[in-house]
Amino acid sequence: MKVPTSLRITALAVAGSLALTGCISSGDSGGGGGDDDTISIGISLPLTGDYSEPGKGVQQGYEAWAAWMNENGGLLGKEVELTILDDQSSADRVAADYEKLINSDGVDLIFGPFSTRLVVPAAQVAQDYGFLFVEPAGAAPEVFTQGFDNLFYAAPAVADDHYDYLADHIEAMPPAQRPKTAAYAAMDDPFAMGTAYGLKARLEEMGVKTVVDEVYPPNTTDFSSIAAKVADSNADIMVGGTQYQDAVNLILALQQLDYQPAMAAFSTAPTNPEFPEAIGDKTEGILSPTGYTPDATYPSNKEFVEFYTAEYGDPPGEDQANAWTTGQVVAAAVEAVDCADPDPECQQQLIDWLHENEVETVVGPLTWDSEGRPQGAHMIQQYVDGKIRIVLPEDQAEAEFIAVKPPW
Amino acid sequence: MSLLLQSLVLGVLLGGLYALLAAGLTLYFGVMRVVMIAHSAFLILAAYLAWFWTTETGIDPMVSLLWTVPLFFVTGVLIQRLLISRLRPATLTMMSVLLTFAVALVIEGTLGFVFTGTQRRVQLPYGGADISIGGVNIAVVKLIAFGLAAASLLALYLLLTRTKFGQALRATIQHPEAARLVGINTERTAGYGFGLGLATAAIGGTALSLDSTIYPSLHWHWIGPLMAIIVVGGLGSIPGAAIAAMVLGVGQSLLQIPLGTTWAQTFFYIALFATLMIRPQGFFGGRLAQRF
Amino acid sequence: MPSASDTRTADTGAAAAHAGRRDPRGVVPTIVKAVALVLLAAAIVAFPSVAANPFILSVGVVIMSYAVLATGWNFMGGFTGYMSLGHAAYAGLGGYSTALLIVKAELNPWVALALGALITAVIAVPVGIASLRVRGASFVIVSIAFVLILLLVFQSWGGFTGGSNGLRIPRPFGPEVLRPEQHERFFYIHAALLAVALLLWWLIDRSRFGIGLKAIREDEDKAQALGVPTFQYKLVAFVLSAFFTALGGGVYALWFGFLDPVFQFSILIGSYMVLMSLLGGIRSLFGPALGALIVGYAVEFFKSEYGDTQFHLVATGLLLGIVVLFMPDGIIPGVTGLLRRFRPQASSIREVTQAELAEQRAGGAHTGTDSSGGDSTGGATRAPDPQVTEGVHP
Amino acid sequence: MSQATAPTPGTAPAGTSPEIGLSTDGLSKAFGGVQAVDGASVAFHHGKVNALIGPNGSGKTTFFNCVTGMIKPDAGSVSYRGSSITRKAPHRIARAGIGRSFQLCRIFPRMTVLENMLAAVRPHPLHLLRSSHDRGDIERARELLTRVGIEHLERVEARDLSYGQQKLLELGGVLMADPETIMLDEPAGGVNPALIDRIAGLVRSLNAEGRTFIVVEHNMDLVMSLSDHVVVFDRGRPICEGPPSVVQNDPRVLEAYLGI
């Protein structure tokens, strides 16, 4: 009774969708790879969903880079065209997006997505099709242990090494002045945890006692309990493996409990322009690692900052810089081997070239090890007189390091 | 020791908010046998409205209660009238879950659409202020949120026990057929019950906005613990829900000391499973679970 | 026309009519059924070679996976009417246990898949006991809570599950099998799994167990009063459902190659399963698969056409709401009903019973008059009570 | 109508002490503050047609639900044929040989009439996957459908039946499970007089075959004409019992009904 009708409907639907499958692939205009005077580059970014906000910075960086390239003669003399898909902050989607970019839209090159959690599934697709995969956001140590030989991280250092200069600085202090105890609170996210635990490993090595070690889920909104533990320990140094809002919440919760550490370091958040607004006038002395500063003197950086500021009104941030760096890295390889097409042979040449050469970028000269780890280090910034300034390493410092943080 | 005391205080403050929200969920379940999945989505919606109000006008978020509470009450009545009451009684429990789930998705999607997925937080001049009593620091915003929740719960309690409408509502919860027999318009009462439930979400959301970051998908973070609370408290029992909220809120807060944030959250779910295994009708009253 | 032939057989005598009434549609629909089934199978077998490129093929794999998951869900939802919003938990558990058995215990991927699904089924037993002892509400609450708890556990227990770093699963096929061919193989594996699930669903649907389950769906009290051990039946259906969902999740994990708790234990995936099943029709064998096809295709289509908005959540919510409010029986029963309404021979019960009444008044003897027309539900209204007059019969 | 208690064939002559089938002892159930069943101790005569009457809200249906396990009683016990069935799961009670109908007739609305009947078959666990359309089962179902008079509707979905037909179907389903004792909750509620006669006729003939009936009913004529033993409930407990003719004239019954 119902069975045959349902069967008929299903069969009809199957037939219909078979006929319609073309729609999915041809629906997006994209950039046909067959076009001779353009090079199309496919990117999937979290334009909506949980990672959409930081993802926007990467998008701006990519778009600025493409615009700059086209104003300056293009890539290999051809126009650069970006095809950006929205991965909705989901791993399933990010893989499907690259699958589509490579197979259906026929892009010549691909750039990496945003957020560590999406890098691995995307890199897998790229690897399977033999594509070069330079990415602006997968800094977690685990990204580089998956056996991807096509992956390169376009930033100075992987997450564990972000605090290296701070660790060096503490190590250089007379033992009596070093912090004795440390409290760590990190978001359960490969990148954020990577930064905090990188520093933790170094500090523990030099005998700084870990008194609090908390990991919280990414969706945590109530930090009062973590703050209570930190405050109770009264640690000398507070290290936050944070992204953005969690740092704001954690700092507010710590203030509510009147906890005053001698040093407080948080990843990512303090470099965000909205951070001082959210914290108010209590930012003084807060430390943060950064891979990029608009004031850096690398040759290409001036062009970048000028172009970007003219385009968007504000100077670029770290996400924008990493995206731009990705563009620079790929462009350098393309210009060097003189090819940019999806053919595996060309892609392999690009990969091989990057493994062996140094690239000048807005974050400095970059080289990679065989697994794609960049071989640089992050600078350390600190809020000094209400402005965030580079304080370490000393040869790049814009301001004096504040050794004892004023109360917040 | 001071950490223990501090955590205890934090737990009580948190438990107050849980209690108010769980009371709302219990109301829906009581009057309609509906598990209102969208409750926490409305909570977040209210928090967004409070945040939006404050960023646009610069006036304290608590003032937004003046219009969010009536708005939510009316919305609640309308949801009951226009959506829930359309469902067939035979499949009401299941279908209402799906329907309110759909409402939650629509709210989450719309919030993301309008306000993007960015995390938001109301900036208050007293955001980081605290009061110190006997070695325990209490954040002013948390105290206000707790006060708001406690006052609303008290008002709800008085409404239920001291007014004619409250009697009708309780009768409808306990025995709808009997309530109809004594001349109570249970349909209308159920509508108002729904409105009241949603009003608790408005108050809770405003309280939440004082001291928390909000983002569209945050409601999933709340609905789990809240559902655990109403089951542990005994589906349909408001005092049960309030007690369970306190116990679980304090428990979670204390367990964070040895277990850390993540594992402490599982406390709610362990309590939920334990309740269903040992005493499915809940530990504090309500026996409605037995039949539904 | 089938009713005409049936009436003729019916005239030969009551007993013969009863015997011949196993299939009221007679021979022709059986052929239609068989042809449709063959066409369906052919379409599925042909799909990978028709697909324009590996991306289309990968979309096919995803839709097939949806179909498996939704059909797995429907073992519980369709038979018993208990709607789990948290079936992503079992898909995720299936994926993770398969992956962990491969990574940690170094088992053969296919052994790991089967074992993983079994482990998930075992885990489902206590969950089922906790959630099914009491009716309705608790089941849904537990279904959601279970996803949330698994998310916490798999995220926190990083040392074992990979936590937020995710877990990569080695390929079941060697490196010489290129990605497009992986897609093709996994498309067929999913299809085979779907076929097995559908076969079992069909077997249960027509079995004594199935009729008990459906009785629970219709009226649990009544079923109990008739002696159906409702709790045991529900539990078996639930565990079976978890098993197939876990198999679906496991195969998907082997194909996708990467697991992250946030994406595995997601409420949204569970709600897709519900939406697909309801949309297609939970009482129909092919309902969930059809729903998966529609939803899976629509998701791709809207993404590629309208792209970058958060609107997919709103659309999912609205669609679910509309289905629940206006077509809780789904598309298949809806279309079936529509077809029947337009079929000229379709007669309402009213006509049948009145015709019979006349016959009885005249002849007084029961004939096995065909009542297949009575399965028309379209315009059927409450028949006038024939017992008014029949009451005089001994 | 006639108030004569026509001796039903197959029952023991009056005077001998009746065999007790189902009985309760101190059964209690409260909802919130309302004591629906209040320490009810009742014994029903086996092999007879027992009637349970009482004013609206006197707890008859709750009593039924407690006995059949649909509601767990707060206190008291239920025993059947000498063994306790207190707090047993409803399906166990059903399998012990007690079938029941519901006050507002309950059938499986989206299943066909035949499927409604087959749902009452109790398969051996090993035969669970056997086709539900077992020839023997179907034949028996058809027999019973013929007996209740709706065999011509076997392929109709139950929700498309008239209320009267649904009542007959419900009775058919109960019979399909082959219970020794059948509890009917208002079998004559909401149906027309002709159908009432038909149902009464069925009860009589089934009783004649040895099945015990316990009937909650408001239709006094029906109760008096049908039953051998009447129990009167008020405020959750029995206030009087006996043959219809005795009960009918008991002042307590009048009081309960008229609320004096």
How many structural domains does chain C have?
Answer: 1
**Can you count the helices (H) and strands (E) in chain B?**
11, 2
Q: Picking from A6-10, A72-76, A159-163, C146-150, which range would have the lowest pLDDT averaged per residue? A: A6-10
Q: Classify residue A351: in a domain, yes or no.
A: yes
Q: How confident is the model at residue A283 (pLDDT cuts 50, 70, 90)?
A: confident
A-C Cβ pairs (cutoff 8 Å, strict): 169
Together in a domain, A259 and A389: yes
CA–CA min distance A220, chain C (Å): 12
A18 lies in a domain? no
As a three-state string, the secondary structure of chain C is CHHHHHHHHHHCCHHHHHHHCCCCCCHHHHHHHHHHHHHHHHHHHHHHHHCCCHHHHHHHHHHHHHHHHHHHHHHHHHHHCCCCCCCHHHHHHHHHHHHHHHHCCCCCHHHHHHHHHHHHHHHHHHHHHHHHCCCCHHHHHHHHHHHHHHHHHHHHCHHHHCHHHCEECCCCCCCCCCHHHHHHHHHHHHHHHHHHHHHHHHHHHCEHHHHHHHHHHHCHHHHHHCCCCHHHHHHHHHHHHHHHHHHHHHHHHHHHCEECHHHHCCHHHHHHHHHHHHHHCCCCCCHHHHHHHHHHHHHHHHHHHHCCCCHHHHHHHHHHHHHHHHCCCCHHHHHHHHHHHHCCCCCCHHHHHHHHHHHHHHHCCCCCCCCHHHHCCCCCCCCCCCHHHHCCCC
In angstroms, the Cα distances linking C341 to A8, B102, C336 are 17, 31, 9
Nearest-neighbour CA in chain C from D58: distance (Å): 22
What's the whole-number mean pLDDT along residues C173-199? 93
Q: What is the largest CA-CA distance in chain D?
A: 59
User: Which one is predicted more confidently, C174 or D94?
Assistant: D94
Q: Is the pLDDT of residue A254 over 50?
A: yes
Asked if A146 and A55 sit in the same domain, the reply is yes
- The neighbour count for residue C298, using CB atoms within 10 Å, is 16
Q: Is the pLDDT of residue D235 over 90?
A: no
Average pLDDT, stretch D76-91? 90
pLDDT of residue B41: 95
Q: Which of B93, B114, B266 to mutate to test the interface with C (most CBs of C within 10 A)?
A: B93
The reply to whether C55 falls in a domain is: yes
Q: Specify the pLDDT at position C307.
A: 63
Does A10 map to a domain? no
| Stretch B53-80: mean pLDDT | 93
pLDDT, position A308: 93
Residue C312: which of D238, A292, B216 has the closest Cα?
B216
Residue B292 has pLDDT above 50, yes or no: no
Percent of chain B with pLDDT over 70: 97
Is C154 inside any structural domain?
yes
> Is the same domain home to A252 and A383?
yes
| C72, part of any domain | yes
- The pLDDT tens digits for A99-117 are 999 998 999 999 999 888 8
Residue D96 has pLDDT above 50, yes or no: yes
Asked if the structure places residue A142 within a domain, the reply is yes
* CATH code assigned at A239: 3.40.50.2300
Q: Which domain holds residue C222?
A: 51-266
Q: Classify residue C53 by burial, with Cβ atoms within 10 Å: 0-12, 13-18, 19+.
A: middle
Whether pLDDT at A371 is above 80? yes
CB-closest option in A52, A215, A278 to B260: A215
Residue D252 pLDDT > 70: yes
> Quick one: DSSP state of residue A368?
B
Average pLDDT over residues A62-90: 91
- Nearest-by-CA chain B residue for C134: B290
Predicted local distance difference test score (pLDDT) of residue A12: 63
What is the structure's pLDDT at C17? 39
Q: What is the pLDDT of residue C343?
A: 60
Task: Report residue A318 as tokens.
Answer: 């770290």
Is the four-CA dihedral B146, B151, B155, B157 of positive or negative sign? positive
Q: State pTM to two decimals.
A: 0.86
Q: What is the mean pLDDT of residues D217-232?
A: 88
pLDDT tens figures, A178-195 = 899 999 999 988 888 889
pLDDT at D120: 86
The per-residue pLDDT for A16 is 60
Which residues of chain B neighbour A51 with C-beta distances below 8 Å? 117
Q: For the residues D189-206, what does the mean pLDDT come to?
A: 89
B90 contacts D31? CB cut-off 8 A: no
Instruction: Tell whether B175 is within 8 A of chain D (Cβ).
Output: yes
- What's the pLDDT tens digit per position in B117-171? 778 888 888 877 888 887 788 888 889 999 999 999 999 989 988 888 888 888 8
Which of C158, C284, C375 lies at the smallest CB-CB distance from A6? C284
Chain B: residue whose CA lies nearest to A247: B213
Rounded Cα distance, D141 and B278, in Å: 41
Q: What is the pLDDT of residue C353?
A: 44
Domain-located, residue A407: no
Q: What is the mean pLDDT of chain D?
A: 85
Are residues A78 and A140 located together in one domain of the fold? yes
pLDDT band at A370 (very low <50, low <70, confident <90, very high): confident
Share of chain A above pLDDT 70, in %: 91
- C residues 175..214 contacting B (CB < 8 A): none
Confidence category of residue C10, pLDDT binned at 50, 70, 90: very low
pLDDT at residue A288 tops 60: yes
pLDDT higher than 60, residue C3: no
How much is the pLDDT for B289?
38
CA distance B138 to B129: 9
In a domain, A348, yes or no: yes
The size of the A-B interface in CB pairs under 8 A is 102
C44: nearest CA partner in chain A = A14
Inform me whether the pLDDT recorded for D14 exceeds 60. Answer: no
**What are C93-111's pLDDT values in tens digits?**
999 999 999 999 999 999 9
D169 compared with C33, residue with greater pLDDT: D169
**Both A173 and A311 in a single domain?**
no
Strand partners, D22: D80
Q: Is residue C116 part of a domain?
A: yes
Q: For position A394, what pLDDT does the model report?
A: 84
Q: Report yes or no on C216 lying in a domain.
A: yes
d(CA D14, CA D245): 13
Q: Which of A67, A98, A81, A85 is CA-nearest to residue A36?
A: A81
Whether D32 contacts chain B with CB within 8 A: yes
pLDDT, greater one: B288 or C131 = C131
What band does A4 get if pLDDT is binned at 50, 70 and 90?
Answer: low
Going across the sheet that includes A387-392, the strands are A209-216, A181-187, A237-241, A263-266, A286-290, A379-384, A387-392
pLDDT tier, A20 (very low <50, low <70, confident <90, very high otherwise): low
Q: Does A282 share its domain with A143?
A: no
Which residues of B fall within a CB distance of 8 Å from D31?
174-175, 178
Domains and CATH numbers, chain D: 20-258 (3.40.50.300)
Q: What are phi and psi of A257, to 5 degrees?
A: -100, 5
Calculate how close chain A gets to B5, using CA atoms only, in Å.
Answer: 10
Kindly report the average pLDDT of chain C as a whole number. 80
Identify whether C33 is part of a domain. no
Give the distance from residue C80's alpha carbon to the nearest chain D alpha carbon, in angstroms: 12
Instruction: Identify the pLDDT of residue C30.
Output: 81
Is C149 at the interface with chain B, CB within 8 A? yes
Does residue A283 share a domain with residue A208?
yes
The residue ranking higher by pLDDT, A231 or D258, is: A231
The answer to whether residue C135 sits within a structural domain is yes
- What are B237-252's pLDDT values in tens digits? 888 888 999 999 999 9
* SS3 state of residue D74: coil
**Assigned domain for A312 exists:** yes
Residue among C154, C164, C312 with most chain A CBs within 10 A, to mutate: C164
B118/C contact by beta carbon, under 8 A: no
Helices C54-80 and C27-50: crossing angle in degrees, nearest 10, is 140
Cβ-Cβ pairs closer than 8 A, B with C, add up to 149
Q: What's the gap between Cα A100 and its chain centre?
A: 23
Give the residue-averaged pLDDT of A338-362. 92
Confidence of residue B90 (pLDDT cuts 50, 70, 90): confident
Average pLDDT, rounded, for chain A: 86
Domain of A80 in residue numbering reads as: 38-157+297-366
For residue C225, the distance in angstroms to the closest alpha carbon of chain D comes to 6
Picking from B200-209, C330-339, D20-29, which range would have the lowest pLDDT averaged per residue?
Answer: C330-339
Domain identity same for A251 and A388 = yes
Provide mean pLDDT across the span A357-375: 89
Tally of structural domains, chain A = 2
Which range, of C187-201, D99-113, D122-136, averages the lowest pLDDT? D122-136
Q: What tens digit of pLDDT does each residue of A200-211 get?
A: 999 999 999 999
- Name the least confident of A279-283, C44-48, C88-92, C128-132: A279-283
Q: Which residue has the higher pLDDT, B197 or C174?
A: B197
Rounded-to-integer distance, Cα B22 and Cα A314, Å? 46
Percentage above 90 pLDDT, chain B: 33
pLDDT at C63: 95
Cβ <8 Å between D57 and B174: no
Q: Quick one: pLDDT at residue D151? A: 86
Closest by alpha carbon to C36, among A2, A392, A192? A2
Q: Measuring CA to CA, how many Å separate C152 from each of A243, B108, C266?
A: 19, 21, 11
A341 and A204 inside one domain: no
Q: Is the pLDDT of residue B71 over 90?
A: yes
